[in-house]
Structure 1
Amino acid sequence: MATVRLVEYEDAGPEVRAVYDDIMATRQSDWINNFWKALAVDPALLRRTWESVKQVMAPGALDPLTKEMIYVAVSATNGCGYCINSHTAAARAKGMTDAMLAEVMAVVGMANETNRLVQGFQVELDPAFAEGGRRD
């Protein structure tokens, strides 16, 4: 259960409705999910977060499917069930298969395991990696 009252479209003021309209237009959807409804208790937070998400998730050097899969991976690591489910749905809509999701989760699991081993053993960074990962 949310810790704030979700702001439904019909109860929203003009500033929130403008953001909701942009979300629906950008996503080609006819509804607003609960994440945005929760943020709408603070219209400035809603607008700022939506503008950031819209910018970061737009096509760029990474394609939208890759961005959604990264979002799923980070959400899994952070334990955010809401984000895992919403971004898995978005990734599936962009073409992610069950095999792709399984591979992402395998990479997430391996990265978390090896990260913990490095932390536990306090492994010093190799000089070759300290220069931005270049090994030429």
Structure 2
Amino acid sequence: MTIRHVVPVARKAATGRVAAVYTQSLADFGQAAFMMLSPAPEIQAATWALLREAELVGRAPRVSKEVIAVAVSQANGCRFCIDAHTIMIHAHGTHDLAEDLLHDRIPAEPAHAELAAWAASTRRLDAIPPHARPFPAEHAAEYLGTALATHFTNRMFSAFTDEQLMPGNLQRSGVVRRVGAMAYTRVMQRELAPGDSLPLLDGITAGLSPAWAAGTPIAAAFAALGGATASGGDLLSTAAREIIYASVARWDGAHLPPSGAWLAEALAGLPAAEQPGARLALLASIDPHRIDAGAVAAWRATGHSDDAELVRLVAYGAFTAVQRIADTITDPATMR
């Protein structure tokens, strides 16, 4: 994986919150998590906390939550995330399931097929799925949190990396996938204590705590991510934030045409100096794959050379979409 647009904090140079995230994620997840977010430590820590508390911890089967993560990543087209979560399923030993999900085939096990179908539907914001959530109420916070964490991390990986899990895309080889998965067998089998990531969030101003995860560490992590990403909105004018919010509110989850006409139309009313920042945030919400060197250079040319500001701005856009998705899939009226 090559990190683009920012310079991450190296593991050996990390201090404070970043060092703590690296240490915990290596122990619990087998890798230093979200290095591309390290220029903004509060974003990195909140992202890690949400992933850990929703996906890695809890009573719902870990492999089932990995099914959710792969299916969401398939819906968003995040190649890195598809490959990474598939390898985790291989590490669990369910190789046929991993290969079915990787190749976008319906899993043989009906429960996994239902989970994958539900997870993929969380991007389609104009449709109500034909069935209720395929998981018990006592596991809802974990499954919902996993889906939402994946929607956020998909956007950040698409924006800040080349999406190649291994050099030369070696993970596309079935043999390499199985061998690579062996490194994660131990972490897939570990039982982790809920809430251990929450001390990493000390000092982060929390946003609204979600009712769908009330009483769990997932709620605290989601609220922290909402609060941390809000700082990116402060880099934009009120008019720009209103355009982003309105555009995301109208979005139906479809993959938009590559021409970018929708983007030009959305930003047409903004002064030219305000458009680069709004463009980055709106792309992060809806089409993060299109965040390229030109878009980043245009933003930096407006006087924003700091990597931390870039991470916060992109995270703000990404979380705006995630909150829209959260409002939809946690609405009791839709039973999504």
| TM-score, structure 1 normalization | 0.70
Letter in 2 for 1:32: A
Q: Which residue of 1 aligns with 2:22?
A: 20
Displacement after TM superposition at 1:96 (Å):
2.5
Per-residue displacement from partner, 1:58-111 (whole Å, max 9, x unpaired)?
Answer: 3435200111121011101100011111111111111221x2134432238x95
User: In the alignment, which of 94, 103, 118 is matched to residue 96 of structure 1?
Assistant: 94
CA distance in 1, matches of 2:97, 2:25: 27
CA distance in 1, matches of 2:129, 2:100: 27
* CA pair 132-19 structure 1, distance change in 2 beyond 3 A: closer
For 1:62 and 1:132, the matched residues in 2 are separated by: 19
Q: Which residue does 1:8 correspond to in 2?
A: 10
Quick one: distance in 1 between partners of 2:66 and 2:11?
Answer: 26
Q: Secondary structure at the match of 2:24?
A: helix
Q: Gaps spanning 5+ residues in structure 2: where?
A: 107-112, 133-332
Higher relative contact order (CA 8 A, sep 6+): 2
1:62 aligned to 2:48? no
CA distance in structure 1 between the partners assigned to 2:38 and 2:11 by the alignment: 10
**1:52 counterpart = 2:50:** yes
Provide the residue aligned with 2:83 in structure 1: 85
**Cα distance in 2 for residues equivalent to 1:56 and 1:11:** 29
| In structure 1, distance between residues paired with 2:35 and 2:93 | 27
Tell me the matched-pair count. Answer: 119
Q: 1:124 to 1:26 in 2, by over 3 A?
A: closer
1:75 counterpart SS class: helix
Matches of 2:57 and 2:88, distance apart in 1? 14
Q: CA deviation at 1:18?
A: 0.7
State how far apart, in whole Å, the 2-side matches of 1:124 and 1:16 are: 40
The answer on whether the counterparts of 2:11 and 2:19 sit within 8 Å (CA) in structure 1 is yes
Over the aligned positions, Cα root-mean-square deviation in angstroms equals 3.4
Give the counterpart letter for 1:3 in structure 2: H
The one-letter code sitting in structure 1 at the alignment partner of 2:62 is: P
Alpha-carbon distance between aligned partners in 2 of 1:82 and 1:38, rounded to the nearest angstrom = 13
Give structure 1 stretches of 5+ with no counterpart.
none
- After TM superposition, give the deviation of residue 131 of structure 1 in Å: 7.8
> Structure 1 32/123 Cα, relative in aligned 2: closer, same or farther at 3 Å?
closer
1:98-117 equivalent positions in 2, closer than 5 A: 99-104=96-101, 105-107=104-106
In structure 2, the partner of 1:32 is 32
TM-score normalised to structure 2 length = 0.31
1:8/1:100 CA distance change after superposition, 3 Å: same
User: Hey, what's the Cα distance between the residues in 1 that align with 2:128 and 2:32?
Assistant: 47
Structure 1 residues 124 and 95, CA, compared in 2 at 3 Å: closer, same or farther? closer
User: For residue 21 of structure 1, what is the amino acid of its counterpart?
Assistant: T
Counterpart residue identity of residue 10, structure 1: K
